[in-house]
Amino acid sequence: MLKIIPGWQVKLLDANHIQTTGISSLELMERAAKGFVDWWNGKGFDHSAPVNIFCGAGNNGGDGFAIARLLDTSGFKVSVLKCFDESAKLSSDALVNFKLLPDGIRVMDWNEFDKSKDGIVVDAFLGVGLTGELRSTAKAIIQKINSFDGKVISVDIPSGLPSDDLLSGACVRADFTVTFAFPKLSLLFPEHAAVTGELILVDIGIADTEYDLFDSTSYYLRKEDVPFFHRKFHRFSHKGDFGKVLIVAGSEGKMGAAILSCKAALRSGSGLVTALMPKSERQIIQIAVPEAMCQFELPTDLSRFDAIGIGPGLGVMGKSALLESIFHRFKNPMVIDADALTILSENPDLVHLIPKGSILTPHLKEFDRLLGDTSNHLARLEKAADFCRSLELNLLIKGANSVICLADGRQVFNSSGTPYMATGGSGDVLTGMLTSFLGQGYSSANAMFCGVYHHGLAGEIAGEHYLRGTIASDLIDAIPETFVQLGIS
């Protein structure tokens, strides 16, 4: 996993990399620009569209000059818009790249930009070096960029956005943000989605181990990290090894939730899935998921189950006693979602009975109901950290870049997923997947890393086919393909 460090420490990260590898800071800037242009070329932008690159006087602007040169070489019609006046002192690497601009590139002042013309804007005005309140010219430059109707692509971070804090002033509204080395924390906050746009991470050759020097509890979970967290099974493995799980879900009119959770658990590899549900609804689930067994009363001995997932479609009325009995009878980590979370927020004393190491999966509204109102993501992350540490529980804050908050204090931002997953039943699928991995003997942390990443990837795979028509069942159908893509047998 990639550590997320504060923006002000990027200079130290770079300095250390330069010292240990012997490469120059200019080469690091060139790698950033090359990475940006590689992504750009993969997008297949129209070569006839003029590219207008707003460049500041710092290294973010330096990236912009280098990008201008490389895009010019690729055959794009590039203009550079200087966001500094004649008296400004450019950073040394920015100055080198400014001087390297080929003759064919038109260099203008930022206020000469004609927003009515077609094209693409690249925002290389301010990066992680932003400090304090924006100066008035900076605000005017940001306004100018935002007045443009076409595509805006921000380099490293949308100009004006503080790297680790909430946005309070003006900021470029990007369609894409191409960030270098690691995602800056603020790019992962839901309140900044409208300014960040789609997030792309470009590797500039800094190894994960180079982040060990820095203290941080925030991490980013990438595709390449996930195989490491999976258990390996062998040819003598039998269905007992793949876990027996109990899914406590469904009620009259809400059996779909139980079906989705059970199917997702089976598709994620569970050996045996039992559904605890009302007897009156049994035919629905037996027909929809013939692989699942049914149970209509809570068994006295729950130790035969390796993991329990509780909540989807369960209903709230009269169900708190059931939850309490399960907490008393089952001592291993379980997955708690949906209506079970609502029951907990209405019966806060029950929270202390939850088996240690369990996984709670609230979306933002459920989070506020359970932990109290939070006005922003930063406050939410802090609250979640306290909750997890003090109760020895794990919690997933669901949303774009869902955050895996662990009892040990780590907060891991997921990188997979798509807005097409914002559809009814998507959470029920996740509950089944998480319960399945717990039942297969994964630690709670590893079950979360794998469950959350695969769930997001399933959404991406399904979303590619069905776009906004994606439904939760499509995610289940895509689960096997997630194993293929990650090379997990």
Q: Name which of 73 and 137 has its Cβ closer to ligand LP7C6HRI.
A: 137
Contact residues for K ion, defined by CB under 5 A: 123, 154-155, 159
Smallest separation, CB 20 to ligand LP7C6HRI (Å): 14
Bridge pairing between strands 272-276 and 293-295: parallel
Tell me the two tokens of residue 312.
Answer: 């989807």
- Whether residue 428 is annotated as binding a ligand: the answer is yes
Q: Name which of 123 and 306 has its Cβ closer to K ion.
A: 123
**Cβ atoms within 10 Å of 404's Cβ, excluding its own:** 26
Tell me: does residue 127 bind ligand LP7C6HRI (CB under 6 A).
yes
Smallest separation, CB 62 to ligand LP7C6HRI (Å): 6
- Whether residue 306 is annotated as binding a ligand: the answer is no
Q: Which of 1, 4, 29, 71 binds ligand LP7C6HRI (CB under 6 A)?
A: 29
Tell me: does residue 199 bind ligand LP7C6HRI (CB under 6 A).
no
| Beta-sheet strands, E only, within 132-192 | 151-155, 176-180
Cα distance between residue 178 and residue 238, in whole Å: 45
Smallest separation, CB 400 to ligand LP7C6HRI (Å): 22
Q: Name which of 91 and 196 has its Cβ closer to ligand LP7C6HRI.
A: 91
H or E segment at 245? Answer: strand 244-248
Q: Which of 9, 52, 60, 361 binds ligand LP7C6HRI (CB under 6 A)?
A: 60
Q: Which residues pair with 177 in a beta bridge?
A: 154, 199
Strand arrangement, sheet containing 78-82: 106-109, 78-82, 51-55, 120-124, 151-155, 176-180, 198-202
Smallest separation, CB 444 to ligand LP7C6HRI (Å): 33
Smallest separation, CB 379 to ligand LP7C6HRI (Å): 24
- Whether residue 243 is annotated as binding a ligand: the answer is no
Q: Name which of 54 and 453 has its Cβ closer to K ion.
A: 54
- Please write down the long-range contacts of 17-23, taking CB distance under 8 Å and 24 or more positions apart: 17/205, 17/206, 17/210, 20/210, 21/205, 23/205
Stretch that binds ligand LP7C6HRI, among 128-136, 279-287, 319-327, 472-480 (CB under 6 A): 128-136
Q: Which of 4, 53, 57, 152 binds ligand LP7C6HRI (CB under 6 A)?
A: 57
183 touches, from K ion, ligand LP7C6HRI, none (C-beta below 5 to 8 Å by class) = none
Tell me: does residue 399 bind ligand LP7C6HRI (CB under 6 A).
no
* Total number of residues that touch ligand LP7C6HRI (CB under 6 A): 30
CB-based contact 386:367 (threshold 8 Å): no
Residues 6+ apart with CB under 8 A from 179: 156, 157, 187, 199, 200, 201, 202
Q: Name which of 127 and 463 has its Cβ closer to ligand LP7C6HRI.
A: 127
How large is the C-alpha radius of gyration of the chain?
A: 25
CA angle 459, 396, 410 (to 5 degrees): 115
Q: Which of 2, 52, 62, 97 binds ligand LP7C6HRI (CB under 6 A)?
A: 62
Cα distance between residue 297 and residue 449, in whole Å: 32
Greatest Cα pair distance in the chain? 80
Bridge pairing between strands 120-124 and 151-155: parallel
CA neighbours within 13 Å on the CB side: how many for 22?
Answer: 0
Smallest separation, CB 41 to ligand LP7C6HRI (Å): 19
Cα distance between residue 469 and residue 38, in whole Å: 31
DSSP code for 232: P
- Whether residue 197 is annotated as binding a ligand: the answer is no
Q: Which of 129, 183, 451, 456 binds ligand LP7C6HRI (CB under 6 A)?
A: 129
* C-alpha pair distances (Å), 65 with each of 14, 59, 90: 19, 10, 12
Positions 276 through 335 that interact with ligand LP7C6HRI (CB under 6 A) = none
Tell me: does residue 91 bind ligand LP7C6HRI (CB under 6 A).
yes
| Beta-sheet strands, E only, within 168-229 | 176-180, 198-202, 218-221
Smallest separation, CB 55 to K ion (Å): 9
**Cβ atoms within 10 Å of 21's Cβ, excluding its own:** 14
Q: Name which of 103 and 215 has its Cβ closer to ligand LP7C6HRI.
A: 215
- Whether residue 117 is annotated as binding a ligand: the answer is no
Tell me: does residue 97 bind ligand LP7C6HRI (CB under 6 A).
no
Smallest separation, CB 236 to ligand LP7C6HRI (Å): 47
| Residue of 259, 274, 269, 278 whose CA lies nearest to 231 | 269
| Beta-sheet strands, E only, within 86-216 | 106-109, 120-124, 151-155, 176-180, 198-202
Tell me the two tokens of residue 362.
Answer: 């609230």
Smallest separation, CB 83 to ligand LP7C6HRI (Å): 8
Stretch that binds ligand LP7C6HRI, among 57-65, 443-451, 459-467, 478-486 (CB under 6 A): 57-65
Binding-site residue numbers are 59-63, 123, 127-133, 156, 159, 257, 313, 363, 398-402, 427-428
Residue numbers in the known binding site for K(+) are 60, 123, 159
Q: Residues in the site for ligand LP7C6HRI, rule: CB under 6 A?
A: 10, 13-14, 28-29, 32, 56-63, 91, 126-135, 138, 155-156, 180-181
